[in-house]
């Protein structure tokens, strides 16, 4: 093989230029980058505002005006910005992806501009078939006005105009609607979009004679009193989000260049529901669906704010997840924490009104924030055997804070525990058991214990051994009846007397019962596997109340079949009282017991038909 390379192989291949199908690119933008054609107006406003910002960087006293007018399927947008030369038109408007913010020494000042991605007028082809730009540069005073006209087929023309066509620096953009898009260029739609996107822009913007900007922002305006401020912000929230807030929280983070307000929702929402916040970037609306702006626990507020530090994504319709956004999220969370702490310290009535609606959100925060848990201890409501109390009140009443992990367990034990003087907290609701277990960390010396079936049974009085021995036949018949259901029978004496029987189990017992049910329905292979998993977990218990008159009468029965029917009835009634879901076997038992009791109650009464047969 020849080790030398031929001259022809050393020659560099000639470069080729990408061919861009403009219609295909516009289709890509409209269907995949932008959420709606409405963003075309944001792009026009953005270009106008950036042009004014560029001119004012060189001429601080330059005019700052943007005027829009729409009629007959056409739109005209004029600004008093820096303008363009013929060279700029070729370089900037006709090159996909090129940004004017990279040119002419303006790279250092890019933080002052809204646009960062150089897409520019391309987005206007989403609604327009033709774009005409007339511009005159303020940087080259002697340069004549120039015109750039482009069509959606990818072609464009450039020509020089007489000076009188545009005597002052700036740019005018003319759009002609494409088929089916004329509605986006009506005056009413343009005014609505301009106000939505540009209400906080720092320059004079009008659609016809209608002002677009509304400065200063509602949260930055002076008010005669705090009450007046609350009323004004509530009105702003209703106009913006459609609800009247419970309260408003000022969101000011000077180091991050953030000013805004959070509005507290008047009704409870699911923690899983993602909030949509409105974010303005240097006055221009970036998105009204920012989801990652606040910590997850702050799902009870809706925010509107203006920032100059957060980074937009390529579509400029959401925020880029980076370290800056993470820091801002934490800082805004701190503002909401401070607001809650302030309510707890100085306005308990408003705090109570807030917690009545949004206690779940505060509990979510308190799980991870010991300081917040300590602050909220006197206020957060919990369901207890003493009524609806805070953890602080409950811990003051009871030396041991007992709790259950599920609502079902609480319903089983609450009436009995209360009668025995044992205080119990229902920890079955979202976050509650976690907060109860965290109580000793913020209230040293507090004893917290999970309440299970064994603990409840231990608090019930044992029956005299001689009396229990005398009832051994009855207990044996009752146990034999419930043994197939995985339930033991225990005799105790407890209050209230009106409760004849109590069904007690715990998670381990329910797990073992579920395993046994699955084993009974499985084939030989799975039955063997499930059988090998059989544990020594305690079984459920039906605790009969020896003090109850009905139990005393049933225990004196001599008919084993009737004892069995009565036991099944007591078991079913105890399940219903505990509001436990019934298995098919439990439902069948209830039906069987009901029919059995009816037969026993009517066995001495003969019907006329039966008398006739006799």
DSSP assignment of 150-213 equals: EETTS-EEEEE--GGG--SSEEEEEEEEPTT-GGGGSHHHHHHHHHHHHTT-SSEEEETTEE--
Query: Distances from the Cα of 69 to the Cαs of 73, 183, 188, 524, in angstroms?
Result: 11, 14, 10, 81
Which residues have C-beta within 8 Å of that of residue 157, sequence separation ≥ 6? 148, 149
Q: What is the dihedral of CA 403, 407, 409, 415, to 10 degrees?
A: 80
Which pLDDT belongs to residue 134?
A: 94
In Å, how far from its chain's centre is CA 12?
A: 57
Angle at 390 between CA 388 and CA 392, to 5 degrees: 145
Among 424, 355, 427, CA closest to 386: 424
Which pLDDT belongs to residue 520?
A: 52
Burial call 214-232: b when 16+ CB within 10 Å, e when fewer: eeebbbeeeeeeeeebeee
- Looking at the chain, the number of H-run helices and the number of E-run strands are 22, 22
Which pLDDT belongs to residue 563?
A: 87
Would you say 246 and 265 are in contact if contact means Cβ atoms under 8 Å apart?
yes
Computed on alpha carbons and rounded to an integer, the radius of gyration of the chain in Å comes to 38
Which pLDDT belongs to residue 115?
A: 42
Which pLDDT belongs to residue 508?
A: 52
Which pLDDT belongs to residue 290?
A: 86
pLDDT < 50: residue spans in the chain: 1-3, 5-9, 17-18, 96-118, 509-512, 514-516, 518-519, 522, 525-536, 614
Give the C-alpha separation, 97 to 3, whole Å.
44
Residue written as token pair 């419930």: 482
Give the C-alpha separation, 320 to 325, whole Å.
7
Which pLDDT belongs to residue 367?
A: 86
Which residues have C-beta within 8 Å of that of residue 491, sequence separation ≥ 6? 463, 468, 471, 475, 543, 544, 546
């Amino acid at each position: 093989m020849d080790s030398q390379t031929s001259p022809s192989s050393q020659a560099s291949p000639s470069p080729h230029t990408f061919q861009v199908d403009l219609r295909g690119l516009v289709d890509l933008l409209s269907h995949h980058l932008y959420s709606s054609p409405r963003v075309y107006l944001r792009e026009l406003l953005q270009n106008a505002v950036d042009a004014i910002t560029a001119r004012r960087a060189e001429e601080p006293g330059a005019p700052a005006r943007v005027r829009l007018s729409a009629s007959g399927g056409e739109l005209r947008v004029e600004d008093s910005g820096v303008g363009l030369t013929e060279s700029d038109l070729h370089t900037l408007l006709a090159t996909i992806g090129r940004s004017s913010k990279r040119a002419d020494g303006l790279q250092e000042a890019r933080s002052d501009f809204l646009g960062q991605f150089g897409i520019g007028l391309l987005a206007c082809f989403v609604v327009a078939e033709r774009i005409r730009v007339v511009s005159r540069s303020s940087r080259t005073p002697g340069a004549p006005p120039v015109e750039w006209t482009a069509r959606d087929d990818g072609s464009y023309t450039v020509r020089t105009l007489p000076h009188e066509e545009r005597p002052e620096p700036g740019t005018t953009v003319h759009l002609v609607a494409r088929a089916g898009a004329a509605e986006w260029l009506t005056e009413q739609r343009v005014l609505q979009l301009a106000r939505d996107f540009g209400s906080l822009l720092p320059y004079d913007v009008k659609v016809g004679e209608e002002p677009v900007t509304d400065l200063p922002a509602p949260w930055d305006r002076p008010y005669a009193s705090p009450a007046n401020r609350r009323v004004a912000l509530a009105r702003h929230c209703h106009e913006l989000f459609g609800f009247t807030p419970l309260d408003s929280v000022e969101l000011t983070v000077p180091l991050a260049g953030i000013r805004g307000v959070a509005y507290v929702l008047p009704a409870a929402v699911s923690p899983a529901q993602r909030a949509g916040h409105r974010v303005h970037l240097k006055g221009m609306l970036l998105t009204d669906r920012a989801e990652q702006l606040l910590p997850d626990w702050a799902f009870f507020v809706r925010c509107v704010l203006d920032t100059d530090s957060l980074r937009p994504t390529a579509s400029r319709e959401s925020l880029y997840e980076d370290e800056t956004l993470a820091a801002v999220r934490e800082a805004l969370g701190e503002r909401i924490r401070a607001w809650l702490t302030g309510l707890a310290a100085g306005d308990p009535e408003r705090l109570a009104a807030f917690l009545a609606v949004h206690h779940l959100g505060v509990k979510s925060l308190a799980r991870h924030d010991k300081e917040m848990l300590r602050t909220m201890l006197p206020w957060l409501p919990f369901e207890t055997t003493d009524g609806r109390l805070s953890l602080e009140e409950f811990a003051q009443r009871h030396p041991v804070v007992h709790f259950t992990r599920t609502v079902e367990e609480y319903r089983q034990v609450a009436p009995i525990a209360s009668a025995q003087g044992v205080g119990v907290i229902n920890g079955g609701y979202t976050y509650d058991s976690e907060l109860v277990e965290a109580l000793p960390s913020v209230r040293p010396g507090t004893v917290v214990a999970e309440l299970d079936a064994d603990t409840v049974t231990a608090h019930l009085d044992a029956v005299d051994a001689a009396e229990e021995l005398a009832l051994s036949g009855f207990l044996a018949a009752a146990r034999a009846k419930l043994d197939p259901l995985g339930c033991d029978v225990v005799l105790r004496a407890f209050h209230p007397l009106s409760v004849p029987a109590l069904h007690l189990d715990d998670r381990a017992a329910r797990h073992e019962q579920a395993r046994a049910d699955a084993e009974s329905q499985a084939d030989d292979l799975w039955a063997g596997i499930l059988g090998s998993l059989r544990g020594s977990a305690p079984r459920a218990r039906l605790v009969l109340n020896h003090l109850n008159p009905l139990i005393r009468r049933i225990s004196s029965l001599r008919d084993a079949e009737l004892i069995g029917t009565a036991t099944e009835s007591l078991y079913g009634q105890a399940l219903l009282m505990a509001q436990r879901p019934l298995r098919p076997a439990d439902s069948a038992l209830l039906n069987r017991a009901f029919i059995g009791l009816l037969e026993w109650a009517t066995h001495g009464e003969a019907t006329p038909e039966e008398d006739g047969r006799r």
